[in-house]
Structures are given as C-alpha cells and as structure tokens.
Amino acid sequence: MSKQEKSIRYQIFFKKSGYTYDQTITLDDQEYEHPAPEGEFPSWCELEFKKCPNCTLNSIWHKYCPLAVRLIPFVNLPAIRSYDEVNAQVDMDNKTVNCDTSAQEAFSSLLGLVMATSGCPHTRFFKPMAWYHQPFSTPEETLYRACTTYLFSYAMHKQNPDRALRFDDLKLIYKHIHTINVHVAARIKNYSETDSAINAIVLLDLITKDLPIAVDEDFSELKQLFNTHKSLFE
C-alpha cells in the first residue's frame, strides 16, 4: 500500500491588528506525526527541563521533549492577547472550515492537533482523531470522538477474550494528559510574549478534566443518542 500524506493548514487572521498566523501540519499514514521545526532548539525544550513526572522517555536517547520542540512556533508568537477576535480558517482534505472566535479558542484547536501528533508517548491515543481532525470541537463532540476511538481500539486489539470492556484505561489516558498540560504550561510560561498559548492549554485542559467526570456519570450525555440502536443487539 502506497504511503499517504495529509496536510491540515491553520490560518488565524487577527481582525484588529491584521497579523496572520499560518501553520501547516503534515502527517503520513505511517507514524501519524508531524515534523519538528528546523534549526537549533532552545534550552527549555530539553527533556529534563521541567520534565513531566509521568514522562516515559529517557534523556539518553531523547535530548529534547518531542512535544516541547513542536510548541516553539506558539512560544515565538508576537505579543497578542488571548481574547483578541480572529477569523480562523482550516483547510484540510477537500473542505475548508471557517470560524469567528477568540485567539485562545483558535490556538486551542490547533494545539490539540499539534499535541496529538507530536510524538509524545502519552498523546499517541489521539493520533486517529488527529488523522480525522475536527477543528473547533465542542466538549460534547470531543467526548463522542474519544469514546468511539477507545471502543474501536478495544475491538481491534483486545487480546484476552475474557477481558471486560472498562473505561478506566480511557480515564487514565486523560489523567496523563492533564499532567502533561500542567507541566507544559509551566515549561513555556516564562518564554512566551503572549498568554494565548498558555490559555489555549488551559482550554484543552478543561476538556481533559471533563471526560473522566462524564465517564463516572455513566455517559448520560451520550446514552440517549443510541436508544434507537438497542434492537441491533437484542
């Protein structure tokens, strides 16, 4: 099977200042990761600099944190405000998505894609979601996509036929992501001229903390959607 590539381009137009942020994330269907930026990496990208406590990488083999180096474009943003009004345009596959929103909302959507495809071991669960990226997802949409991704992974890779379906593993994934969000924000806090990147992480983390709560509430938000499917399994 031939190698396929997919490009997702974010253009964020600031309405008052006229500044435009433009970044293209290119993925292939082998690793589902996007390349790190070229050039020298700053010291705050080193793996041991404010390293996440749940990191599974070893600095002997990985001098730099794969997620940190992919955050360089965000940290190098000019002085903009997270609440600045923007028009965000996302070009992907055969469609274009436009959204009038705030800078932090736009960068949060892009940051979710960047994190999922950064090469961080804890974000690899999100690679299928990134391949079928949904810009500006609501918390409810993210809940649906994360749960369906987990269910499909379970169906594809379950080794033990007696192992019951549990969502504890999905909750653990999101617990690790929360830890990463907190420590990545601390890592870049003193190196960014804008609060947009920090607040974009904060927005992502709100969704990260909401999903385990939804799981504990027995998916009440999703159950009604599937009432009509009951007859399929009777």
Residue 201: predicted pLDDT = 81
Q: What is the mean pLDDT of residues 61-70?
A: 95
Which domain range does residue 227 map to? 5-233
- Whether pLDDT at 1 is above 60: no
pLDDT digit string (tens) for 73-130?
888 877 778 888 999 999 998 899 999 999 889 999 999 999 999 999 999 999 999 9
Q: Using CA of residue 97, residue 130, residue 178, residue 140, what is the dihedral sign?
A: positive
Q: What is the mean pLDDT of residues 192-197?
A: 69
pTM of the model: 0.89
- Find all residues with CB under 8 Å of 146, minimum gap 6, and list them: 129, 170, 174, 211
Q: Using CA of residue 14, residue 21, residue 34, residue 74, what is the dihedral sign?
A: negative
Count of the separate structural domains present in the chain: 1
Strand arrangement, sheet containing 85-92 = 20-28, 5-14, 85-92, 95-102
